[in-house]
């Protein structure tokens, strides 16, 4: 009885760990996509400002 409960708890912990891992990887992917978008926008803004300086 004791062993079964411990095994079930270990299984639950492992499931929680995989959930956290999946959440972390998802957050990482979102962060990188946001960083890419921000870099893209900043490059556009930079080019606009550079064009403004030419006038």
What would the mean pLDDT of 8-37 be, rounded to a whole number?
Answer: 84
Q: Please, what is the average pLDDT of the chain?
A: 82
Query: What's the pLDDT score for residue 54?
Result: 57
Share of the chain above pLDDT 90, in %: 22
Residue 41 pLDDT class (50, 70, 90 cuts): very high
Q: Which residue has the higher pLDDT, 42 or 48?
A: 42
Whole-angstrom distance, CA of residue 55 vs CA of residue 53:
6
CA atoms within 13 A of residue 29's CA, in its CB half-sphere: 6
Residue 24 pLDDT class (50, 70, 90 cuts): confident
CA dihedral 41, 46, 49, 55 (to 10 degrees): -130
């Amino acid at each position: 009885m004791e062993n079964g409960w411990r095994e079930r708890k270990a299984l639950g912990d492992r499931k929680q760990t995989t959930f956290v891992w999946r959440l972390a990887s998802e957050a990482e992917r979102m962060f990188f996509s946001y960083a890419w978008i921000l870099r893209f926008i900043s490059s556009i803004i930079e080019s606009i400002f550079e064009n403004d300086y030419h006038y």
